[in-house]
Structure 1
Amino acid sequence: MIQIDEARIRDHLGEMVRGTVEEALNAMLDAEADRLCGAGRYERREGRKDTRAGSYERSLDTRAGPVKLKMPKLRRQTFETAIIECYQRRESSVEEALIEMYLAGVSVRRVEDITEALWGTRVSPGTVSNLNKKIYAKIDEWRHRRIECDHPYVFPDGIVMKRSWAGEVRNVSLLVAIGVTTDGYREILGIMEGPKEDKSGWSMFLRHLADRGLSGVQLIVSDACRGLVESAAEVLPEAQWQRCVVHFYRNVFSLVPSGKVREAAKMLKAIHAQEDRKAAAEKMQAVIAELRAQKLAKAAELLDEHGYETLTYYGFPDSHWIKLRTNNPLERIMREIRRRARVVGAFPEVASDQFEPVSTRAGSLSLMTRRGRATRRERRRG
Structure 2
Amino acid sequence: MAVRVPKLKGAVFESAVIERYRRREESVEEALIDMYLAGVSTRRVDDISQALWGERMPSQTLSDQLKKVYAQIDQWRERPLSQPYPYVFMDGVWHKRSWGGAVENVSVLVAIGIGMDGHREVIGVAEGMKEDTQSWRSFVSSLISRGLIGVRMVTGDRCAGLVSTVGELLPEARYQRCMVHFMRNVLAKVSPRHTRWAADALKAIFAMESRGSALTKAGQVASELEERKLREAAKCLREGIDETTTYLMESYPVEHRRRIRTNNMIERLNREIRRRTRVVGSFPDGRSALMLISARIRYVTANDWSARRYLDMSRLHDTIQEAS
TM-score w.r.t. length of structure 1: 0.70
Cα deviations by residue, 1:270-314 (Å, 9 ceiling, x for unpaired)? 000012212212211221222122222221122122211111001
Q: Is the contact between residue 194 and residue 201 of structure 1 (CA under 8 Å) also seen in structure 2?
A: yes
1:253 aligns with 2:187: yes
Name 1:317's counterpart in structure 2: 253
Cα deviations by residue, 1:231-259 (Å, 9 ceiling, x for unpaired)? 11111111000011111111111211012
Name 1:95's counterpart in structure 2: 29
Q: For residue 254 of structure 2, what is the amino acid of its counterpart? A: D
Deviation, 1:126, is 1.8
Structure 2, unpaired ranges of 5+: 292-324
CA distance in 1, matches of 2:35, 2:139: 29
Residues 1:247 and 1:285: Cα distance change in structure 2 (over 3 Å): same
Name 2:117's counterpart in structure 1: 183
Indicate the RMSD between aligned Cα atoms, in angstroms.
2.8
Deviation, 1:350, is 6.7
* 1:1-382 correspondence runs (5 A): 40-41=10-11, 84=19, 88-165=22-99, 167-315=101-249, 316-349=252-285
Q: Is the contact between residue 219 and residue 240 of structure 1 (CA under 8 Å) also seen in structure 2?
A: yes
CA distance in 2, matches of 1:197, 1:274: 33
CA distance in 2, matches of 1:284, 1:177: 30
Cα deviations by residue, 1:161-202 (Å, 9 ceiling, x for unpaired)? 222245432332111110111222110011101321100000
Cα deviations by residue, 1:94-141 (Å, 9 ceiling, x for unpaired)? 111111011011101111223344445432222211111111110111
CA distance in 2, matches of 1:283, 1:207: 38
User: Tell me, what secondary structure is at the counterpart of 1:343?
Assistant: helix
Deviation, 1:89, is 3.2
Q: For residue 318 of structure 1, what is the amino acid of its counterpart? A: V
Deviation, 1:85, is 7.1
Using the TM superposition, name which of 300-309 and 115-124 deviates more: 115-124
CA distance in 2, matches of 1:246, 1:359: 27
Name 1:9's counterpart in structure 2: none
CA distance in 2, matches of 1:119, 1:259: 62
Residues 1:121 and 1:329: Cα distance change in structure 2 (over 3 Å): same
CA distance in 2, matches of 1:211, 1:202: 14
Name 1:78's counterpart in structure 2: none
CA distance in 2, matches of 1:336, 1:175: 15
CA distance in 2, matches of 1:258, 1:146: 50
RCO (CA 8 Å, sep 6+): is it higher in 1 or 2? 2
CA distance in 1, matches of 2:17, 2:145: 41
CA distance in 2, matches of 1:343, 1:151: 34
User: Tell me, what secondary structure is at the counterpart of 2:57?
Assistant: coil
User: Tell me, what secondary structure is at the counterpart of 2:98?
Assistant: strand
CA distance in 2, matches of 1:82, 1:120: 18
Q: Is the contact between residue 194 and residue 359 of structure 1 (CA under 8 Å) also seen in structure 2?
A: no
Name 1:45's counterpart in structure 2: none
Q: Is the contact between residue 127 and residue 286 of structure 2 (CA under 8 Å) also seen in structure 1?
A: no
Number of aligned positions between the proteins: 289
Name 1:365's counterpart in structure 2: none
Q: Is the contact between residue 242 and residue 312 of structure 1 (CA under 8 Å) also seen in structure 2?
A: yes
User: Tell me, what secondary structure is at the counterpart of 1:291?
Assistant: helix
Report which of the two has the higher share of helix.
2
Structure 1, unpaired ranges of 5+: 1-14, 35-39, 42-51, 53-69, 72-80, 353-357, 361-382
Deviation, 1:83, is 6.4
CA distance in 2, matches of 1:94, 1:290: 64
Q: Is the contact between residue 18 and residue 25 of structure 2 (CA under 8 Å) also seen in structure 1?
A: no
User: Which portions of structure 1, spanning 4 or more consecutive aligned residues, are displaced by more than 6 angstroms?
Assistant: none
Q: Is the contact between residue 155 and residue 220 of structure 1 (CA under 8 Å) also seen in structure 2?
A: yes
Q: For residue 344 of structure 1, what is the amino acid of its counterpart? A: V
TM-score w.r.t. length of structure 2: 0.81
Cα deviations by residue, 1:1-31 (Å, 9 ceiling, x for unpaired)? xxxxxxxxxxxxxx7xxx8xx56xx56xx88
Name 2:314's counterpart in structure 1: none
Residues 1:349 and 1:299: Cα distance change in structure 2 (over 3 Å): closer
